[in-house]
Structure formats: C-alpha cells, structure tokens
Structure 1
Amino acid sequence: MQENLQSIPEIGFRTAVVLQAELWDLLRFPNKDSLNSYVGLAPHMVGSGDHEKIKFGGNRKKKQLHYLLIKASWRAVRFNVEYRTRYGAMLAKGACPQQAISIIAKKLLLAVRAVWLQKRNFVELLPRTK
C-alpha cells in the first residue's frame, strides 16, 4: 500500500503514512463526497439572506490531512504538468489561488482513493518536469 500511495505525484513517505493512519479504512466512506467532507475539501454555502458564498474547509475537517494535501497540491502544481494545467485553467476562469489549489487537493485525494481501493500504482498521463 505504501508504494502505491507514494506513486501519486508529490505524495511522499510522510504524507502516505499520515494518510494511512488517519483514513485507515476507505470502505467506511460510502462515496467520494463523504471522504471529501471528512478531509475538509467539500464546498459548503455560508451566509444568510441576500449574501451567500461558497467556501472550502471550514471548522469541520481533519486539519493535518487537509494541511498535507494542500501542501502536496502546491508541489504538484509546481512539478506536474497535468496539475499545473488544471490550476492555470481555474485561474483563467477567475478562481482565486486558494480556491484553485483546494480543487487540486481534491483531485489528489480522489487519486489517493482510487489507488487505495484498486490496490495499484498511479499512472501519470503527462510527464513530470524538473
């Protein structure tokens, strides 16, 4: 399992260990949305009346997991062409950098889920840059 998780872009040994320790069994999450909510990457509406805003995270999240995935996302945007392209596209659409990186973190979490449940290595579509 450790090698499978570390095959994901910018998921290192420490991040993989923390993911295994915190998530321990992904089958307890019925779907990907409940996993996103557990980690704090699911958007939610904040506001009342005339003013409503979509926010990510909030107070109900696993802070260590959230922090590690955001940090891994910044590294992935820097070194992985696929994630850099997605990040740039979101910025071009008008998203702020924090919102765009939260979406990249969500993509990384879904990659973790797929690799974990399918017991296989991650396959990159585009080559890495140095």
Structure 2
Amino acid sequence: MINWLKEIDLSLSLRLTLNGLLEDYERLAEKKKCITKQITELSRTSRYEQDVKLLRSVPGIGLVIAMAFLTELENMNRFKTFDQLCSFIGFVPSTKSSGEKESVGEITSRAQVILRPLLIEASWIAVQKDPALACRYAELCHKGLMPNKAIIRIAKKLLRRIRFVLKNKELYKLEVV
C-alpha cells in the first residue's frame, strides 16, 4: 500500500505533502515496532512474566493491555475491594446532590485515562470470544441498553475477572453458558 502511494502521479505540491505524511507514517511505524519490542522484553522479566501469562488467558487481553494493567496498577493487592478498583479505573457513577435531592448519572468522567479505554476495547473482543460475556452482552442489548452502555457493564465484569486472575494466580477459564 505504501509503495502504491509513493508511485501515484501527483502535482508537485500534493507529492510533497503526501511524501511528508508517508515519512511520518514510516517513522511512527518504526517507533511502534521498537516500543513493542521493549514491552515484549519487559514482559519476559521475572517481575511480570507470570502475571502476563495469567492476564493473557483472559479473552480480549493481549500483551500490550496486560503490561499496561501491570505497570499502571503496580500491585492488585493495594485495592482492598473491587469497588476501590472500579473507582480507580473510573467505573463508578457520577452523582449530583443538592440539599435532600441526590441523582446518580453516567459513569464519572474522572477515570484512569490509560486503563479504562483499554478495558473497554478489550471488552469488545471478549464478547466475541467468551460465550458467557457474549450472552450477557446480548441480554443487556435485548433489554434496551445501547451497545456502548452495555459494553461498559461487560468491561466491569471483565475487570472483576482480571482481578480474580491476578489475586488468585489462576489462569482464566471460559464459562459455559
């Protein structure tokens, strides 16, 4: 594809613009390759190797997401409860209160900016690979929940499973529906 773009017959100004963009793309692709290699090397160290193996057994969790979780969380045991972990990630509802009135809204905008989006992306993959999560997702959508809101609920379930795997040092087992 890149070679095809390099060979397109264009005016001088368009050619200069496209060449600049292609150079940027190639530089970023090389940087991504280098960073992925560094992440892979780090994942093979004694500190991360076992936990990476455990996390990669969870549907939707690959090397990059596993390492992001392990490096951002540092230690799962620092969260005494699942609710504390949810609060850290940003899976708690926002609340508004005034006097005696209190309302609960969407999930809070305050979130862990790296892990929450990664967990949501992993959830989209997990609903394709895990029959129990797929069933729950379909059930939520059938009840009228919009897909983007349903996947947030799935992400919270996935987070609970990630916590279980790391705390109990057990590989993830797909649930039977």
1:125 and 2:143 aligned:
no
Instruction: Return the alpha-carbon distance in structure 2 between the equivalents of residues 87 and 5 of structure 1.
Output: 21
Counterpart of 1:11 in structure 2 is: 61
1:38 to 71, 88, 91: 88
Amino acid paired to 1:76:
A
1:43-122 matches, within 5 Å, as 43-46=93-96, 52-58=103-109, 60-122=110-172
RMSD of aligned alpha carbons = 2.0
Q: Higher relative CO (CA 8 A, sep ≥ 6), structure 1 or 2?
A: 1
Shift in Å, 1:54: 2.1
Amino acid paired to 1:123:
K
TM-score (ref. length: structure 2): 0.65
Same amino acid, percent of matched pairs: 34
Amino acid paired to 2:150:
A
- Superposed CA deviations along residues 48-100 of structure 1, whole A, max 9, x for unmatched, are 69894521141x21111001000000111223221111011111122121211
Instruction: Return the alpha-carbon distance in structure 2 between the equivalents of residues 47 and 95 of structure 1.
Output: 25
Counterpart of 2:23 in structure 1 is: none
Shift in Å, 1:47: 7.2
Amino acid paired to 1:104:
I
In structure 1, stretches of 5+ residues that fail to align are: none
Instruction: Return the alpha-carbon distance in structure 2 between the equivalents of residues 81 and 75 of structure 1.
Output: 12
Using the TM superposition, name which of 116-125 and 41-50 deviates more.
Answer: 41-50
Aligned residues: 126
- Superposed CA deviations along residues 16-54 of structure 1, whole A, max 9, x for unmatched, are 000000001111112000100100112233476989452
- Superposed CA deviations along residues 74-128 of structure 1, whole A, max 9, x for unmatched, are 111223221111011111122121211001000111111000000110011139x
Amino acid paired to 1:37:
S
TM-score (ref. length: structure 1): 0.87
Structure with more of its chain in helix, by fraction:
2
